[in-house]
Structure 1
Amino acid sequence: MPTLTTREKLIQAGHEVFYREGFLSVGLDRLLNEVGCSKQTFYNHFESKDDLIVAVIDEHHRWWSSEIRDRIERVAGSDPRGQILAMFDVMYDIIHDPDYRGCIYINAAVEFPQPHHPAHQSARKAKADGVALLQDLAERAGATDALVVAQEIDMIIEGALITQQVAPDCDVCTIARRVAETVLDKYVPTRV
């Protein structure tokens, strides 16, 4: 395994502690102690804690963009309609992981509700890329309106993620998948 740079260590440690405890509740000094670097070293890599938070969100997004594609393909193969529905199988695995602390993008948007804040913008971009993935899959599945399919499926996913945080005993993935199938039945022609 390659040795991490100080910047990479800060992003990795930031990801672990911010995801576990929240972006705003963790002070910079604590994070620097965990990594073992000085403030001067930190400021050689980042302008501020907010700059690190954006780097954490962006790095998570780079990783997740690849990871979600790999996971849905493992579940559904190359079938785009199946890959859309596989999102709910992947979601099930994620939300039932003991380390799950909610969607990092939703967490960031909640902690930084101002739309102009860089962390909020970074989370919003990641979410928009998720819609773009769904739109691509819907187009490949032959949807009559791929953007509408993507937006509706995304809304189902977001609702399921929020519901899971509020009511973890609810079977959100089964319910969400059932609703998603209805959307797909409406917009994606059945192949004979």
Structure 2
Amino acid sequence: MSLSTNSGAGASPSLAAADGGPVVSGVRERILAVAYELFSRRGVRDVGVNELITRSGVAKASFYRHFASKDELVLAFLERRDRQWTVDAIVGEARRRADTPEQQLLAIFDVFADWFARDDFEACSFINILLEMGAGHPLGQASIDYLAKIRGHVQQLAEEAGLRDTEDFSRSWHILMKGSIVSATEGDLAAAGRARQLAGWLIDHHRV
């Protein structure tokens, strides 16, 4: 299972809308695919617009036709990261791996263990961009919002599991998630297993 999806590769060519509406261009998708790869691995500040244009193989005018600024492109990247990483690769995969909500919560760290062992492990883009840009920057605030959405998924699972104080639980659980990612970035490949053990204790503490 790949947790670092280079989305957009092989996107459909430009197609005219059946109702005669505007043409749907593959250029935007190509730019976003390149941005996903670069931003997820190197962050925001290290990637310039000229590199994005060159790697995408588009004209500068085409780039700015689809994204008025680099920040606008980063926001589109964060939206895609949420859909592909949070919803599909983490929460969706955890739900597929286990039958009960409690086991699905714990399976998040099983998914993490596989992710941390990958050669292309790239850490969490929401954390990276928040630390890089700061909470006062619009991109930092967007990252905070997406991190809150992750807590929302955890809280939903906790409610399905019948745990108590699910908001408090989700915040504590998210600390384990974020902490294990940072530890894995430091080189601790056992970080997911350590977090999973702590997570089991947290579930016990929040059982009704």
- The two structures have a TM-score, normalised by structure 1, of 0.91
Distance 1:170 1:135 in 2: 26
- Note the C-alpha offset of 1:2: 4.5
Q: Report whether the alignment pairs 1:31 with 2:52.
A: yes
Give the gaps of 5 or more residues in structure 1.
none
| Rounded Cα–Cα distance in structure 2 between residues aligned with 1:144 and 1:20 | 37
Residues 36-55 of structure 1: CA distance to partner in whole angstroms, max 9, x if unpaired?
A: 11111111111111111111
Conserved? CA contact 1:58–1:122, under 8 Å: no
Deviation of the 1:118 alpha carbon: 2.3
Closer, same or farther: CA 131–186 of 1 in aligned 2, 3 Å: same
When you count helix as a share of all residues, which structure comes out higher? 1
Alignment equivalent of 1:122, drawn from 119, 139, 142:
142
Distance verdict in 2 for CA 1:89–1:123, change over 3 Å: same
Between 1:26-35 and 1:116-125, the stretch displaced more is: 116-125
* 1:144, distance to aligned residue in structure 2 (A): 1.6
Q: CA deviation at 1:20?
A: 2.1
2:79 maps to what in 1?
A: 58
Alpha-carbon RMSD across the aligned residues, in angstroms, is 1.5
Q: Percent identity?
A: 30
* 1:69 is aligned to 2:91: yes
- Structure 1 counterpart of 2:101, from 80, 85, 89: 80
Q: Which amino acid aligns with 2:76?
A: A
1:172 aligns with 2:202: no
Q: Give the conservation status (yes or no) of the 8 Å contact 1:109–1:124.
A: yes
Aligned match of 1:186:
205
Distance 2:34 2:176 in 1: 31
Length-normalised TM-score, structure 2: 0.84
Return 5+ residue gaps in structure 2 as ranges: 1-9, 14-25
Runs of 4+ in 1 over 6 A off after TM superposition: none
| Distance in structure 2 (CA, Å) of the matches to 1:59 and 1:122 | 13
1:107 and 2:128 equivalent? Answer: yes
CA deviation after TM superposition for structure 1 residue 111, in Å: 1.3
- The structure 2 residue matched to 1:161, chosen from 181, 188, 206, is 181
Deviation at 1:58, TM superposition (A): 1.0
Distance 1:100 1:3 in 2: 28
1:2 and 1:41, CA in 2 relative to 1: closer, same or farther beyond 3 A?
closer
One-letter amino acid of the structure 1 residue matched with residue 181 of structure 2: L
- Report the counterpart of residue 70 of structure 2 in structure 1: 49
